[in-house]
Structure 1
């Protein structure tokens, strides 16, 4: 049998309560249904270039070449029913539920369609409100901004016999989209793909046979799922992405077909007891490579390997996507809240006080335009936390402000893993390490790929007088995200653990590695000065004090002592030894 696999927009429509209507007056209902088909349904399908695949007694399955055509047809059908139901008693009205999805289908020799694309559209029809159209996220992305009716985000929905939950939107035909007052000078409308939109194309399996191919497909699916959890990011569903499996693809064409900005492609090769992972992130508009990575892993337990590969790629891709969007935002002549957010992230990632302060200003600009933008709220809190570490005299005020901001973010979105993460960090810094650990665990339950959560868990152990446990937590952070942009902080935390345990030489080496990666963090220099002072390496210690004071000129021993992060007696005793090391190095008393 000849079959063809392709990407198609599928519309499924069904009459609400058909059995009840037919039971009351079957002949009349059948006559009305025949009239609807000839006068409304079939002409609408024809005008919008649809193909009827299958009819049921009370419904129809239609294939369209584009989602735009499918949605226009659905709207025309629902509007026609509204007109025909005018003056008809409610219990005798014929109303449709409609579901529309863009996805992978298999066309058989007789023209019938099978596959997930059809199944998902049918399930969407089943959960649609009578008179409305339920759209999958993949379908909605194609028509966003082109619909004059109200659209509601129904959130993630588990559909019967569909493996993964899908985000669903409801188009309310007859309810106009909310009108927004026009600004005095309207900015030009943006065109093209949604910001930070991405498709993860199926990774190619090289060597290893069917078992290896299944493993590689699993990596693609898990990576798609993990990336879809990133805020401000739209990721094309797995079913749609897999229509490109095994086919030569042109990045620009894929970008146009799926309306995305970025494409991730790559391969996993198996041989000689190792796997080699190659990935590339491509700008779909230009076809240029934005980022590429290659790394090898020894073959081990399949699930462990899959988790490790996915975690590493998800962390790297998050950073690269944010950087790419920040570069775009800098060039945007009419920035909106999301543009300001990405600009803030770009400034924040540069480090140094002036950049952190600028980041806070940009996050605040975003919040002026959208006070409920959770990522911008968390961004402002992050800036306050970092400023608390740079400026002792502002520490209490900054941390209090950050906690208030983070609680506000969680009131808006209780599932924001970034808000839970940073709230946990604030609590660790303010004598609430146990509560902080709870927040970190909550963050990791929402996003397993947060390496920094493990590192901060190690920091909490120091505050709890259990510095001997810090090294293992930091090692887990590096396992999850070995090339993380803030990995220098993890080295710092590992060094801090060694310093509190009295392993001063090991601490100094870890601090040196951290400083080599980023020279903008003052506590690195001051704690390295303590380790070197305790080792009797006086000139090196004094140089570190000088470097630290150049970044944080207000740092003093008195301020450091007053800012003790815990009242645990083991911690305080170890901390006094650190203070003595700083004193030997020449840190001002204050």
Structure 2
């Protein structure tokens, strides 16, 4: 039998014996206080919200703020901390709590000396980043207000990324005008990533350069240039910041997934990031299978991990909407239950509202989905994928002519988004339903060229090509889609009761005609 102990300050938390030791002395704590200390330590790489604590420690029961404060004070007293000093347990106003002490995890046999350290010591939190003040390269000091505005807005918008730890504006601006080494910044602020940038205005054009660096190695992970004609400066600032925030969200997830692959003992968040990275690759059978495996393993480690709940809900929704299985209804029921569970823990998580919105779209509740998606955009105005989902909802409501406008808004906010191939496919479907087959082909080719691992885009392209008379190309596209998802059949496509709108149903019949011309199996 293995023992797990967390060592910090003068204390040792023995997980297996459920004992807190100070030196050789056992410190008496109630079971609930022990659970609270253990949970904070195991999640010391992030800020733990009140909802997280209630869900895990109190199993979701209603708990007053006074009761929560009492337990936190008892935990602090047990480990020699106070609410004033907060050496080990820090309260972050309006955000939550974080264990900030240096922790070592040691494992060993119950019959032998405790083994070597397995866990990192005082490592920076995951998704921790500082946005350094962007440099004004315009040669015009009066442009400083715009450049500083970009830096401040981006700092604010990055905090909307789930689990992110973003250094506050005042600390970041202490580096303004200084020659810096990103590795030194990383050590001083205890962050994993540093974002640098510059803004240059020349005549009527504005150029923004941004670079994301690994703070431990100093290596650049990503660089991008954004260039636009100068119009209304503040409107443009909002758009550029949104584009940067959307792109950075994906880049940070991928960077964390690469770190997780090298971790010998992954935890729930390591597994989540790997699952998310697989889902970002595409919707092929392999991608979905791998993503599901990582999300499920993450939830085995931490049943309260909201990110993995949302990930699993999305996988089930995607599988149900791939028309490759006869248990699509059961998948959607499971997806909605998981999304609702996530929302019960974190009711203001935009991604959870989005996950539930997709289920509602696919279960003949598109109008209800629209309300939830609009609320998600209130919570996170940068959620370009929520605009895309609105576009999808509209064609199920018989309003396919509105779809393109929603997708163009998503692309405006995040033109190089890793999920943009899904959005262009949505427009392609809308055009097909409207009878604009040549336009559909253009949008669907754009989707397949952006990501070859999206079976539905290939299959919808096959239908559109079939209706235009390009039968050889249609059959090739169908073969590609079926290779990625062999279970797709026209019978399964028709069996999905996604909408009873008569306009949509008429368009669906056109799609089926195209499938047949392309050689898609009837099933």
Normalised by the size of structure 1, how large is the TM-score? 0.70
The CA distance in 1 between the partners of 2:496 and 2:503, in whole Å, is: 16
1:348 CA drift (Å): 2.2
Structure 1 match to 2:119: 189
1:553 CA drift (Å): 1.8
* Pair 1:249–1:177, CA change in 2 (3 A): closer
The CA distance in 2 between the partners of 1:179 and 1:263, in whole Å, is: 26
The CA distance in 1 between the partners of 2:460 and 2:359, in whole Å, is: 20
Structure 1 match to 2:362: 429
Corresponding residue to 1:383 among 315, 318, 328? 315
Corresponding residue to 1:243 among 174, 178, 181? 174
User: Is residue 291–residue 320 contact of structure 1 (8 Å, CA) maintained in 2?
Assistant: yes
The CA distance in 2 between the partners of 1:170 and 1:386, in whole Å, is: 35
1:153 CA drift (Å): 4.0
Structure 2 match to 1:480: 413
The CA distance in 1 between the partners of 2:140 and 2:427, in whole Å, is: 42
SS in 2 for 1:392: coil
User: Is residue 280–residue 293 contact of structure 1 (8 Å, CA) maintained in 2?
Assistant: yes
Deviations, residues 550-584 of structure 1 (Å, cap 9, x unaligned): 12222221211111411111111121122112122
* Pair 1:239–1:152, CA change in 2 (3 A): closer
User: Is residue 134–residue 171 contact of structure 1 (8 Å, CA) maintained in 2?
Assistant: no
User: Is 1:287 aligned to residue 228 of structure 2?
Assistant: no
User: Is residue 396–residue 501 contact of structure 2 (8 Å, CA) maintained in 1?
Assistant: yes
The CA distance in 2 between the partners of 1:533 and 1:551, in whole Å, is: 20
Higher relative contact order (CA closer than 8 Å, sequence separation 6+): 2
Structure 2 match to 1:579: 512
What is the aligned residue count? 439
User: Is residue 104–residue 119 contact of structure 2 (8 Å, CA) maintained in 1?
Assistant: no
Structure 2 match to 1:163: none
1:308-387 alignment, distance < 5 Å: 308-351=239-282, 352-387=284-319
User: Is residue 105–residue 119 contact of structure 2 (8 Å, CA) maintained in 1?
Assistant: no
Structure 2 match to 1:252: 183
1:507 CA drift (Å): 0.4
User: Is residue 336–residue 359 contact of structure 2 (8 Å, CA) maintained in 1?
Assistant: yes
User: Is residue 132–residue 171 contact of structure 1 (8 Å, CA) maintained in 2?
Assistant: no
Structure 1 match to 2:156: 225
SS in 2 for 1:244: coil
User: Is residue 106–residue 118 contact of structure 2 (8 Å, CA) maintained in 1?
Assistant: no
The CA distance in 1 between the partners of 2:233 and 2:126, in whole Å, is: 34
Structure 2, unaligned stretches of length 5 or more?
A: 1-8, 10-71
User: Is 1:418 aligned to residue 348 of structure 2?
Assistant: no
User: Is 1:553 aligned to residue 486 of structure 2?
Assistant: yes
1:36-55 alignment, distance < 5 Å: none
The CA distance in 2 between the partners of 1:299 and 1:328, in whole Å, is: 39
* Pair 1:533–1:134, CA change in 2 (3 A): farther
Normalised by the size of structure 2, how large is the TM-score? 0.79
1:292 CA drift (Å): 0.4
1:119-138 alignment, distance < 5 Å: 132-133=82-83
1:183 CA drift (Å): 7.4
1:397-416 alignment, distance < 5 Å: 397-416=330-349
Q: Which moved more, 1:200-209 or 1:311-320?
A: 200-209
Deviations, residues 317-371 of structure 1 (Å, cap 9, x unaligned): 1111111111111001111111111121222223321231122111111111211
Corresponding residue to 2:201 among 270, 277, 291? 270
1:210 CA drift (Å): 4.0
Deviations, residues 23-54 of structure 1 (Å, cap 9, x unaligned): xxxxxxxxxxxxxxxxxxxxxxxxxxxxxxxx
The CA distance in 2 between the partners of 1:547 and 1:178, in whole Å, is: 51
* Pair 1:183–1:154, CA change in 2 (3 A): farther
Corresponding residue to 2:371 among 430, 438, 442? 438
User: Is 1:212 aligned to residue 125 of structure 2?
Assistant: no
The CA distance in 2 between the partners of 1:178 and 1:487, in whole Å, is: 41
User: Is 1:542 aligned to residue 472 of structure 2?
Assistant: no
Q: Which moved more, 1:186-195 or 1:354-363?
A: 186-195
Structure 2 match to 1:28: none
SS in 2 for 1:264: strand
SS in 2 for 1:525: helix
User: Is residue 133–residue 171 contact of structure 1 (8 Å, CA) maintained in 2?
Assistant: no
Corresponding residue to 2:430 among 483, 486, 497? 497
Structure 1, unaligned stretches of length 5 or more?
A: 1-67, 69-127, 157-166
1:132 CA drift (Å): 4.3
Deviations, residues 66-88 of structure 1 (Å, cap 9, x unaligned): xx9xxxxxxxxxxxxxxxxxxxx
User: Is residue 340–residue 363 contact of structure 1 (8 Å, CA) maintained in 2?
Assistant: yes
SS in 2 for 1:493: helix
The CA distance in 2 between the partners of 1:180 and 1:272, in whole Å, is: 57
User: Is residue 226–residue 240 contact of structure 2 (8 Å, CA) maintained in 1?
Assistant: no
The CA distance in 2 between the partners of 1:425 and 1:154, in whole Å, is: 33
Alignment RMSD (CA, Å): 2.7
The CA distance in 1 between the partners of 2:442 and 2:301, in whole Å, is: 46
